[in-house]
Structure 1
């Protein structure tokens, strides 16, 4: 029988919950690009601020794991989870930044569906992080994230079909594809978070 000493302090769990809460905020900010009247310059600044706050939380996690003798689960998994959470915010910030830089006025029809997937996946991730304390009731989370990622893939393919269907100018296609690729990467990163949580739960069970 294997015995595992678990630290009493809960800092890591709190920090992961904090990190995931940043994602909810970021996804809600990103959703504002769907409003044609939104000030996208101001929105991009807000997203940069949100991304910096998320970075600070990631740095706190890394600093904590480097100074803690006994961690609640494997150090490599802590690094991987923190990095995947950080990747989600980075891609969301990139999406908003590109929309502003490219001065995109109209987004593809399926873009809103992608944003909905992102928002839902971020919310589920935020709800799941506190459950790392007990490693219980997490299976439904990663199953639903996988389903949402598949749904996002279908929307992504429809967007690409629309972009290359002849209704856009070549330069518009390149710009819009950069934007939808960034959003797709954010959704993929959320699946990486869920996969890491699943691996941790399996190891700790």
Structure 2
């Protein structure tokens, strides 16, 4: 039987789980953009609220690290994981905000590939949210980071197809510039999810 001298401080795991649940809320809000007659202003505003809540969780996490003598695992890894989760939320919020500010929902429809990227992000958010509570026991995590990396590869392929469509001549130049910025944020969010998964893998290897 393996014994650990590190405390099982539940507050850290709770904050990771709360941050991950916010990512699920964020991707679900982005999914509304695909609905006919979507209230994009409402989506953007609600995403901003979720992003602010995630910022607060990150501040709580950092304060907890600084006030805790012995942490459940390396402080650097706690910072990296908390920061990584926050980075994902920042990208999700940016997507909703740009779609609103650029008025992209005035188009007949958003590109299919853009909606597919949001779906990939939603899947990444859900597997991440399921994984965070398992950090406490460090069990059943390998399937998570393998799946999250697989989804990131799907996101990369979809992103490339989206770029092909944007530069196909289907859209005017100004619309292409606007949608390219949104596409870049979607791709950055996929990458940020992968960074979170890689951090979890590093933690699991160190603690095994």
Paired residues in the alignment total: 204
1:51 paired residue number: 51
| Matches of 1:165 and 1:179, distance apart in 2 | 17
1:163 paired residue number: 166
Measured after TM superposition, the shift of residue 4 of structure 1 is: 4.8
The SS at the match of 2:160 is helix
| Matches of 1:198 and 1:144, distance apart in 2 | 12
For normalisation by structure 2, the TM-score amounts to: 0.95
1:144 paired residue number: 147
Instruction: Name the stretch that deviates more: 111-120 or 121-130.
Output: 111-120
For 1:118-137, list aligned pairs within 5 A.
Answer: 118-137=121-140
> Quick check: 1:54–1:89 contact (8 Å CA) kept in 2?
yes
Measured after TM superposition, the shift of residue 9 of structure 1 is: 2.7
Q: Which runs of 5+ in 2 are unaligned?
A: none
| Matches of 1:54 and 1:28, distance apart in 2 | 15
| Matches of 1:109 and 1:179, distance apart in 2 | 14
| 1:20-50 deviation per Cα after TM superposition (whole angstroms, max 9, x unaligned) | 0111111101111112301111211111101
| Matches of 1:41 and 1:168, distance apart in 2 | 23
Q: Does 1:186 align with 2:204?
A: no
> Quick check: 2:9–2:71 contact (8 Å CA) kept in 1?
no
| Matches of 2:40 and 2:168, distance apart in 1 | 28
What is the RMSD computed on CA atoms of the aligned residues? 1.3
> Quick check: 1:48–1:93 contact (8 Å CA) kept in 2?
yes
Q: Does 1:153 align with 2:156?
A: yes
| Matches of 1:109 and 1:28, distance apart in 2 | 17
For normalisation by structure 1, the TM-score amounts to: 0.96
| Matches of 1:110 and 1:41, distance apart in 2 | 22
| 1:76-95 deviation per Cα after TM superposition (whole angstroms, max 9, x unaligned) | 00000000100111000000
Q: 4+ runs of 1 displaced by more than 4 Å? A: none
For 1:1-205, list aligned pairs within 5 A.
Answer: 4-104=4-104, 105=106, 106-205=109-208
| Matches of 1:114 and 1:89, distance apart in 2 | 15
| Matches of 2:201 and 2:179, distance apart in 1 | 33
